[in-house]
Amino acid sequence: MKKQKFQATKINPKRFHPSQIRYLILIFPVALFMLLPLLYIFNHAFKPLEELFYYPPRFLVEQPTFANFTRLFKVTGTSGIPMSRYLFNSIIVTVLILIASVIISTMAGYALSKLNFKFKKVINEINTIALMFVGIAVVIPRYLIVEKLGLIDNFFVHVLPYLAVPVGLFLVKQFIDQIPNELIDACRVDGANDWQIYTKIILPLIKPAIATIVILSFQSVWNSADTSTTYINDDSLKTFAFYMNTLTTGATGVAGQGMAAAASLIMFLPNLIIFIVMQSKVMDTMAHSGIK
């Protein structure tokens, strides 16, 4: 028994061990290769105008400058609606969608996993089928539904289409499936109702899955300008992503490329930060850790 414990500690030690060197030799080049796109985005945003059009292209910036950001904010300052308005819209929309998608996905996942009701299997199959459809395939039916609901030029049109997260529901259900039914039955014997089981048992145990939903929903909302383009005519209701895309696609020449690089970094940073904060939870979800 002691021998087995010593071997396990040696294979996967909590602290650094010489046996890890061989794995680090393999992992470090792969990690460095995967970091190259991140380094490129940061370097590209700080390249002066002449370096943006070097041939052959150069990966690293030689003379970093904030000129691209200065030009970008000068353009935003001359627009009819301030950039802060678009940023405010994006923040409100993102927060609303994150809260709503987590509540809907976790409640639906609990119901589909641990409760028995009519058409349960049908709903599961519909959600599985929904995973096969990409957003572009449902643009027309989504527009018809939004129009029938009278949500054209309505702020909540940003929120409604993103409340359904089939991938998030699938992950949450798979995660809850690993929670023993005996634990749920014991809670019911002790007098707990479904709401108490959901809030005090299910939610604490599925934090990794919740973190995954947050990341998926954030990326789909923060980076998307489709809703502002398709359903919104009032510029004061449009989002930051739409505004950034308008600036970069409408600009031409070298100065436009510099603003595009700066805007890309601004849009990318929140995604990077939220993934770094929650990446450990995401790894647990993908490994289907459940209860250990």
Predicted structure pTM score:
0.77
Furthest C-alpha separation in the chain: 73
Lowest mean pLDDT segment, chosen from 56-70, 75-89, 95-109: 75-89
Kindly state the percentage of the chain with pLDDT values over 70.
85
- Give yes or no for a cis peptide into 56 (omega within 30° of 0): yes
**What residue numbers bound the domain in which 24 lies?**
2-68
Same domain flag for 243 and 192? yes
Same domain flag for 56 and 157? no
| Reported confidence tier of residue 51, pLDDT bands at 50, 70, 90 | confident
Which amino acid is residue 119, in one-letter code? F
φ/ψ bin of 253: left (φ > 0), alpha (ψ from -120 to 50), beta (otherwise): left
Degrees, nearest 5: CA angle 13-15-21:
75
Mind spelling out the 3-state secondary structure of 203-238? HHHCHHHHHHHHHHHHHHHHCCCHHHHHHCCCHHHC
Question: Into how many domains does the chain fold?
Answer: 2
In the predicted model, what is the mean pLDDT of residues 33-37? 86
End position of a domain, from candidates 34, 68, 102: 68
Same domain flag for 188 and 265? yes
pLDDT digits (tens, 9 = 90+) for 205-227: 888 888 888 888 888 888 888 88
Distance CA 167, CA 184 (A): 25
- In the block, which residue shows the tokens 């039916």? 141
Same domain flag for 98 and 222? yes
Distance of CA 251 to the CA centre of its chain: 28
Same domain flag for 64 and 89? no
Question: Residue 264 has which token pair?
Answer: 């890309």
Same domain flag for 180 and 277? yes
Q: What is the mean pLDDT of the chain?
A: 80
Same domain flag for 233 and 258? yes
Phi, psi of 192 (to 5 degrees): -80, 140
Distance CA 205, CA 103 (A): 15
End position of a domain, from candidates 15, 47, 68: 68
Give CA separation, 120 vs 109, 139, 176, 268, in Å.
11, 28, 15, 39
Q: What is the pLDDT of residue 283?
A: 59
| Reported confidence tier of residue 1, pLDDT bands at 50, 70, 90 | very low
3-state secondary structure of 129: helix
Q: Does residue 292 lie in a domain region?
A: no
The sign of the CA dihedral 49, 50, 56, 57 is negative
| Reported confidence tier of residue 92, pLDDT bands at 50, 70, 90 | very high
